Every structure is written in structure tokens, then in C-alpha cells.
Structure 1
Amino acid sequence: MDNLGIVFLSEVVGTAMLVLLGCGVVANVALARNKGLGGGFLMVNIGWGLAVFAGVIVAYNSGAHLNPAVTLGLVASGASEFGSGVPVNVLSILAYIAAELIGAILGAVLVWLAYKQHFDEEPEPASKLGVFSTGPAIRSYGWNLVTEIIGTFVLVFVVIAFGHNGDAGGLAALGALPVALLVIVIGTSLGGPTGYAINPARDLGPRIAHWFLPIKGKGSSDWAYAWVPVAGPIIGGVLAGWASLALLPVLA
């Protein structure tokens, strides 16, 4: 298998792990008759952060983007290589994004299998959809988009800064842990308005799975909102990449 094939598989597996554990904690909190039912938003924040930790650890060969916003943010920051020495070009960018989306769909399917009986017992379609994808607390597409842009900007800008710290033996030397803590703090600080997708694949992949899986009484997949957690993170990630070119050399 060539290097691009290796990083493709790494991204698929890492993103599947991320979504399995991240959507899994939402299922535990939201679906009927679970032991974690009612665990609250903080439990979800911690679960998603540690899901990122597990996904990053698994996807070490690819650089563990697990997120098209991170991939595109790195491109915007002027990166010349991805993981395993794969050069940045149109083919490698598309391969990363495709792998992230495929992994997210697979992870969501695994969540459904793990919680099949609880999906069957849950009477509320909104709770079922909420396991798979995000939705706004107050539906206002423009402001929801702004929230996703800001949250993803923070994610990608700080992730790129970790790389700069790594060059000096700083925070990046700790590996996946700083990214996990970053996701937790984004959730606790900025996650309330939209549920903080901050990752197009994390939202779109599970939403596609919700659409095609035979989930009892599932209702709508809310495609009217689906563009927000795709467009917002892409815009935020690219802006963060551009900002890193100007700001991080000054702040270093």
C-alpha cells in the first residue's frame, strides 16, 4: 500500500473511532432507558473531547486530521505535506476529505448497532436525530453559521499553534491530549448555540447514516439545516489557516 493509501485508511479508522465514541456519548445521554440518560451537556463535552483523543491516537499515520476543516485549514496555512510525507495536492486533499466522510458514516452506523434497542424504545424523533447530527438551540441560520465559524476557527488556529509549539518541544509533544482538552473547552464555552459540529464530516456523515438507516420512527434528517455545520466549519478552518500565517510568527 502506498503512502496515500495508508493515510486514507488511517483517516477512515480514526474518524470512525471519533464518531463512534462521540455520537455514542450523545446516545447514552439522550436515548430512552440508557444508564447514562440525563447525563447532561458536560458529559457530552467530555465524551467528545475524549473521542477526539482516541481518534487522534488511532490515526497517527495520517497526522490525524479527522476533520475537513483541519485539512483545509492546514492547506490555507501553507502546509506542503500531510501525514507520512504525503504531498499536499488536489488528490491528497480529496482523499483526506473522502476518508473523513466515510469514517464518519461508518462510526455512526456502529453507534446505531450498539444502541439499536434504545433507538427502538425512544419515542422522540428529535432525540434520535440528535445522536447523529447537530441542531441549533435557536434556529437562525445566519447566527448559527457565525457560531460554527468562530468555534472552528478556535479549533484549527490552536491546532496549528500546537504544531508551532512542537517545533520548540512545547505542547504538541503531549500528542493527542491538548487537542482533546481543546475540544472540551470549545464545547463548554461555545457549544451551546449549535451543539458545536466544528467538523463537516462529523455532522454530514452521521446525518447521511440517519437518512439511510432503518431507524424506527426516526423522522426528518433536517436537511434544511445541514449546510450550516458544513459551511461554517469550512469557512472557520480556512480563516484560521490564513490567520496563522500572519499571527503565529508574531506570537511565537
Structure 2
Amino acid sequence: MSGTWFMRYLAEFFGTLILVLFGNGAVANSFLKGTTGNGKTGQANGGWMFIALGWGFGVMLPAMMFGSLSGNHINPAITIAEASAGIFPWRHVFPYILSQFLGAIAGQLLVVLVYWPHYKQTDNKNSILATFSTADCSGSKLNGFWTELVATAILVFVAMGLYRGMFFKQNIDLANLGVGFVIETLVISLGGPTGPALNPARDLGPRIVHFLLPIPNKGRSDWNYSLIPVIATIIGGVIGIYVYKICFGL
């Protein structure tokens, strides 16, 4: 990493903003009525691949922009995992996480600004909430917990391998591309039960926006589920990085 710590905090802010803007923007284009990705049918015509691409590029492009500056965590689970493994200073964990949450909130506000006419057209409260945060689609918080834990553990394990593998050390941009593809693949393969979140800031920040803004037909913000994407992803991130550390070192 390079630059001042303040510049790194800014990088985390803007990186998370882009992540949420691209990711939840793709969800909004798929789920809200009257969009180019949905038309007038009220169905997610954009499809799951449409959404996976949004989240994948939402991670890949900030990684290419800010990876050499801040490490492009854009995820409190990764920041805490790296600190727990001794490769990131604990004194900068809180500023990183604060920057990430503020970036997620700002990104979601931009999604609402752009799609406001379509929020007013949409009367399905679940579709509206999906453009902000994740949910336990099966009605099982336990299944949601295991889904987020396993998916985040895999994300961190693979990300460590990409950035620290011998081949990608020669070209960090290839590793950045790889992380984007990992996110896209996780959304496709393990995203069925919850979304998935993979990131406390990506879920809780927009959920706060959903709760505070007077969005028509929005329904409840599902606070009963809100801690699952926070706790499970943090635990999963720590597990993922320690499995990699024990097996391959850091």
C-alpha cells in the first residue's frame, strides 16, 4: 500500500461507494418496475447473471483503481480478518470500517437518486428491499448464517491466494481481475439463499438508508435478520484467512 492513511481512507470510501452503486444498481435495474433491465412486467428480467456482473465489476474496478493505495478492502470482514492475522494494523481498523460504511451509505443514496421514479412505481416491498440489502430467502436465519459464513470464508481464502500466489505477484492487475470473477462466481453459485452479502458494510449501510428514507411501498427493513450478514461474514473472513495462513503462510 502507498500514500497517506487519509488517502487510504478516501480510497476505501470511494471503493465501497462504487461497489454498492454498481451492485445494488444492477439489482435495482433488474427488480424495479419500468427500468430498461425490467420493462413493465415487474419481474427480474435482467436475470441473476445481470446482477452477478454488477457485483463482480463493482469489486474488480475499485481493486484496479485503489488496490495499490489502500489494499481495496472495501469490506469490514476483510479488514478485521487481515488485522486478526497480523497483516494489517489494528489502529487503522476503525477508520477503514467507518470509511467503508460511509461509502456504502453514499453509494446507496446514489442508487435511490437515480432510480427514484422506479421506486415509486414498484409496489413489491421485497423487491424494494432487495435493492438495498439481503434476506434469508428460505426463512431460515441459520441457513442464512451458514451461507454467509461459508461464502465469505471462500472469498477471503481465494483472495489471499490470488494476491499472494507466485504467478499473480508478477501482475497485480490479474489478481484484481480474479477477485472480480470470484465475487461474480460466488453470487452465482452461493447467492441463492441470501443474496449474498459477503460484506457487513454492503448490507448494513444500505439497510440503514432503507430504514431512514421515505420510500413508497418499502415495507420493513427486516432488522431481525440484519445482524446475520454482519456477524457471519466477519467470522467467515477470519476463518478464511486463517485456513490460508495455516496452510500456505502469509
Q: Which residue of 1 aligns with 2:111?
A: 111
Q: Which residue of 1 aligns with 2:58?
A: 51
Q: Which residue of 1 aligns with 2:31?
A: 30
Q: Which residue of 1 aligns with 2:98?
A: 98
146-155 or 163-172, which deviates more:
163-172
1:159-170 equivalence runs, <5 A: 159-165=159-165, 169=169
Shift of residue 55, structure 1, vs aligned partner: 2.4
1:188-227 equivalence runs, <5 A: 188-227=188-227
Q: Which residue of 1 aligns with 2:42?
A: none
Are the counterparts in 1 of residues 20 and 104 from structure 2 also a CA contact under 8 Å?
Answer: yes
Residue by residue over 1:66-95, the C-alpha shift from the partner in whole angstroms, topping out at 9 and shown as x without a partner, is 00111112123320x4xxxxxx12x30111
Residue by residue over 1:7-46, the C-alpha shift from the partner in whole angstroms, topping out at 9 and shown as x without a partner, is 1111001100110110000000000011101111121111
Give the Cα–Cα distance (whole angstroms) in 1 for the partners of residues 129 and 66 of structure 2: 27
Cα separation, partners in 2 of 1:233 and 1:12, compared to 1, 3 Å: same
Give the Cα–Cα distance (whole angstroms) in 2 for the partners of residues 59 and 213 of structure 1: 30
Give the Cα–Cα distance (whole angstroms) in 2 for the partners of residues 28 and 199 of structure 1: 21
**TM-score, normalization by structure 2:** 0.91
Among 39, 46, 61, the alignment partner of 2:46 is 39
Are the counterparts in 1 of residues 143 and 193 from structure 2 also a CA contact under 8 Å?
Answer: no
Which residue identity lines up with residue 62 of structure 1 in the other structure? S
Which residue identity lines up with residue 103 of structure 1 in the other structure? G
Cα separation, partners in 2 of 1:159 and 1:222, compared to 1, 3 Å: same
Residue by residue over 1:180-206, the C-alpha shift from the partner in whole angstroms, topping out at 9 and shown as x without a partner, is 100011111111111110000000010
| Alignment RMSD (CA, Å) | 1.7
Shift of residue 171, structure 1, vs aligned partner: 6.6
Cα separation, partners in 2 of 1:115 and 1:166, compared to 1, 3 Å: farther
Q: Which residue of 1 aligns with 2:14?
A: 13
Shift of residue 3, structure 1, vs aligned partner: 1.7
Shift of residue 59, structure 1, vs aligned partner: 2.6
Are the counterparts in 2 of residues 122 and 128 from structure 1 also a CA contact under 8 Å?
Answer: yes
Residue by residue over 1:126-163, the C-alpha shift from the partner in whole angstroms, topping out at 9 and shown as x without a partner, is 11111000112201111210110000001011111122
Stretches of 4+ aligned residues off by more than 6 angstroms = none
Q: Which residue of 2 aligns with 1:84?
A: none
For 1:96, what is the secondary structure of its paired residue? helix
Q: Which residue of 1 aligns with 2:70?
A: 62
171-180 or 157-166, which deviates more:
171-180
1:171-250 equivalence runs, <5 A: 172-249=172-249
Which residue identity lines up with residue 237 of structure 2 in the other structure? G
Q: Which residue of 2 aligns with 1:85?
A: none
